[in-house]
Amino acid sequence: MIRPENLQQLQRKWQEMLESNEREKLKKIICVDGKTMRSNKREGARPCHIVSAWSREEGYCLGQKAVEEKSNEITAIPKVLESIEIKGQVVTIDAIGTQTGIVETIRKRKADYVLAVKGNQGNLETDIREYFEEAQKCAELKKGKGYKKTTEKAHGQIEIREYYQTEDIGWMYRKKEWKGLKSIGMEKKTIRKGETKKEEHGYYISSLMEDIELFSRAVRGHWAVESMHWHLDVTFKEDANTTLDKTAAQNQNIIRKWCLSMLKLLEIRGTKMSLRRKRFNISFAPAQFIEELLKI
């Protein structure tokens, strides 16, 4: 059976063909997250859990690693980051990846980071939350360049996102443990639907100097890897797949992500349709779409 590493090499060759030197020179957002293949579980063994690095701008998987049987996501994340080129880009990870060792790996690879903070790092979340709870601090940021607000209307509701970023971190305890730490930030999301209102807050540490456009793009952009995982379940029914062989399951995961990227690039007679509908049309009459697929 083909090794997952070899299959990933083929995928990277395809990605290189898509890349253009004329593409706008923006810092790319590389979103890292893990997903469990739930129906892959065998008696006495854990189901296959795969950590992926997804390019928000390019819309494809840069690399992935399966978590070893007696290990966890925290040890797999550095291996993924070391297997791909991240120099000059911005890495985003959920709170599970907010570890000093992972930060060390990112900085050694000459990349920046925007990492979510929750209760898994002592008082770090509490300290950042209390900082932004000071009305005066947020008021000052709103007057400067460390603030951005967006409003979106969708699905019968209004989503207001407010982003705050500051380099005022001299007060932070043990800040030197986070290599390259330059700023902290907050996303305040307000969801209005009819007469109801709900607020959510997210807190972050970052190696970025104050750059609210890049910071907000990184925070908002992390949804890309979550969207990819959603499509694996909904569009490709991955969680219903009962393949028990771990190597075969990893290969299938790589191929699904590859197909997902191709579906996003494929235009069918200039008609807008969901990725699930595209997949159905192709599987129903593959001969009709061979030429379009080969052009990708």
Position 268 confidence tier, pLDDT thresholds 50, 70, 90: low
Position 195 confidence tier, pLDDT thresholds 50, 70, 90: confident
What contacts 287, CB < 8 A, 6 or more positions away?
Answer: none
Whether 216 contacts 163, CB under 8 Å:
yes
Report yes or no on 247 lying in a domain.
no
Q: What is the mean pLDDT of the chain?
A: 89
The mean pLDDT of 152-177, rounded to a whole number, is: 92
Report yes or no on 183 lying in a domain.
yes
The mean pLDDT of 251-259, rounded to a whole number, is: 92
Q: Which of 1-10, 68-77, 100-109, 253-262 has the highest mean pLDDT?
A: 100-109
Higher local confidence (pLDDT), 193 or 296: 193
pLDDT, residue 269, reads 64
Position 257 confidence tier, pLDDT thresholds 50, 70, 90: very high
Alpha-carbon gap, residue 106 to 176, rounded angstroms: 15
Amino acid at 199: E
Higher local confidence (pLDDT), 42 or 188: 188
Alpha-carbon gap, residue 230 to 250, rounded angstroms: 17
Is the pLDDT reported for residue 40 higher than 80? no
Report yes or no on 67 lying in a domain.
no
Give phi and psi for 266, each to the nearest 5: -80, 130
Is the pLDDT reported for residue 24 higher than 60? no
Number of domain units in the chain: 1
Q: Which of 13-22, 134-143, 244-253, 265-274 has the highest mean pLDDT?
A: 244-253
Report yes or no on 140 lying in a domain.
yes
Alpha-carbon gap, residue 94 to 198, rounded angstroms: 22
The mean pLDDT of 10-21, rounded to a whole number, is: 74
Per the DSSP assignment, residues forming a β-bridge with 205 are 115, 184
Count of positions (residues) in the chain = 296
Share of the chain above pLDDT 90, in %: 57
Report yes or no on 36 lying in a domain.
no
- In the numeric block, which tokens belong to residue 177? 């443990």
The mean pLDDT of 19-41, rounded to a whole number, is: 78
Whether 61 contacts 257, CB under 8 Å:
yes
Whether 221 contacts 31, CB under 8 Å:
yes
What contacts 144, CB < 8 A, 6 or more positions away?
Answer: none
Share of the chain above pLDDT 70, in %: 95
Position 38 confidence tier, pLDDT thresholds 50, 70, 90: confident
Q: What is the pTM of this model?
A: 0.88
pLDDT, residue 22, reads 43
Is the pLDDT reported for residue 19 higher than 80? no
Q: Look up the domain containing 128 and give its range.
A: 117-210
Neighbours of 104 (CB within 10 A): 15
What contacts 6, CB < 8 A, 6 or more positions away?
Answer: none
Report yes or no on 296 lying in a domain.
no
The mean pLDDT of 243-269, rounded to a whole number, is: 87
Higher local confidence (pLDDT), 221 or 38: 221
Look at 17-26, 154-163, 210-219 and tell me which has the smallest mean pLDDT.
17-26
Amino acid at 91: V
pLDDT, residue 25, reads 61
Report yes or no on 143 lying in a domain.
yes
Report yes or no on 293 lying in a domain.
no
